[in-house]
């Protein structure tokens, strides 16, 4: 299997790429700016995911380690840009960019909510991912290469090409999520942008049983835990770490259930071979 653990870094770079487009078009207006920002986020995230893809396919470097370490590089790049070239000259020396203009902000679904257009788009992307993985030859190829690389090579599938495509698609979607976050709740780029959503996505993926439609339910569960944790902090003074503990416990019990389903401890006599 190939594991992309660096979604957090791709999320940050995608947000930076979308922000870069926003800063270049800051004095402009038009419906085309927001799609261009989203395209920039996709390209930025995919380009950052191309690094571990290259290291894995050409140099046989473990993609878990390379993608994870690149996350910290992206955060340092963010800090540099916020305190250097991208700092708002009218921001009273705070390390942040200019506020995005109206053409660069994701519209909300209704006036009395903060739910923006990125939410229904995320549902549509999950449906598209399900269709690709379940109904196309490429999706079958990805599943075969991930589950049985030797069988994939015997079947004529290009393992390296599949790894490239999978990592680029995952990185592009993470980058798009970063642009959605920058153009949505934040409305600018700030040093607090890396909120750990890329690592939370790992929990979401396992809660959704690694299924494109299952992650919708997993994402909603994690979202409820985030919102509920914030409410508990303000109402009863519950520490913020309690939310992380709750999320970790969900993942732990889920993985433990898998082990208990696939393996069973049996107390009794030793097998005949062991007895001999």
- The predicted-structure confidence for 131-184, as pLDDT tens digits, reads as follows 999 999 999 999 999 888 888 888 888 999 999 999 999 999 999 999 999 999
DSSP state of 26: T
Give the pLDDT score at 273: 60
C-alpha neighbours within 13 Å on the C-beta side of residue 194:
19
Would you say residue 57 has pLDDT above 90?
yes
In the chain, where are the structural domains located? 1-125+136-191, 196-263
- Residue 39 half-sphere exposure, CB side, CA atoms within 13 Å? 6
Sequence-ordered list of residues with C-beta below 8 angstroms from that of 13, at least 6 positions apart, any chain = 44, 45, 47, 48, 74, 77, 175, 178
Residue with tokens 């390379």: 66
Give the separation between CA 230 and CA 250, rounded to whole angstroms. 18
Instruction: Evaluate if residue 88 carries a pLDDT over 90.
Output: yes
Rounded Cα distance between 31 and 29, Å, is: 7
Per cent of the chain over pLDDT 90 is: 65
- Tell me the CA distances in angstroms from 221 to 205, 216, 228, one per residue in order: 12, 9, 10
Cα dihedral sign for 55, 61, 67, 70? Answer: negative
Residue 272 above 80 pLDDT? no
What global pTM score does this model have?
0.90
Q: For residue 235, which of 244, 246, 227 has the smallest C-alpha distance?
A: 227
CA distance 168 to 219: 22
What ranges make up the beta strands (E) of the chain?
Answer: none
- What pLDDT score was predicted for residue 238? 84
Q: How many CB atoms lie within 10 A of CB 150?
A: 8
Contact 2, 146 (CB under 8 A): yes
**Mean pLDDT, the chain, as a whole number?**
91
Burial class of residue 191 (count of CB atoms within 10 Å of its CB; 0-12, 13-18, 19+) = middle
Residues near 212 by beta carbon (within 8 Å), at least 6 away in sequence? 126, 127, 129, 130, 133
Percent of the chain with pLDDT over 70: 97
Tokens coding 142: 């990805």
Which carries the bigger pLDDT value, residue 23 or residue 232? 23
């Amino acid at each position: 299997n190939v594991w992309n653990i660096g979604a957090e870094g791709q999320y940050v770079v995608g947000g930076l790429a979308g922000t870069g487009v926003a800063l270049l078009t800051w004095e402009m207006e038009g419906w085309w700016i927001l799609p261009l920002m989203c395209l920039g986020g996709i390209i930025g995230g995919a380009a950052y995911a191309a690094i571990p893809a290259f290291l894995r396919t050409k140099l046989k470097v473990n993609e878990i380690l390379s993608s994870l370490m690149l996350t910290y590089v992206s955060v340092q790049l963010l800090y540099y840009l916020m305190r250097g070239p991208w700092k708002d000259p009218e921001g009273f020396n705070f390390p942040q960019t200019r506020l995005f203009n109206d053409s660069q902000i994701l519209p909300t679904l209704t006036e009395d909510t903060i739910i923006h257009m990125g939410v229904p788009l995320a549902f549509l992307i999950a449906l598209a991912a399900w269709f690709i993985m379940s109904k196309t030859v490429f999706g079958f190829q990805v599943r075969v290469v991930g589950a049985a690389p030797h069988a994939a090579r015997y079947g004529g599938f290009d393992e390296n090409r599949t790894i490239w495509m999978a990592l680029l698609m995952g990185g592009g979607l993470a980058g798009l999520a970063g642009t959605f976050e920058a153009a949505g709740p934040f409305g600018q780029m700030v040093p607090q942008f890396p909120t750990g959503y890329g690592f939370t996505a790992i929990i979401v993926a396992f809660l959704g049983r690694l299924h494109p439609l299952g992650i919708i339910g997993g994402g909603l569960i994690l979202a409820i835990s985030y919102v509920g944790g914030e409410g508990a902090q303000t109402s009863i003074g519950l520490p913020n770490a309690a939310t992380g503990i709750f999320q970790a416990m969900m993942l732990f019990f889920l993985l433990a259930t898998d082990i208990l389903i696939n393996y069973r401890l049996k107390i009794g006599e030793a097998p005949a071979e062991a007895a001999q």
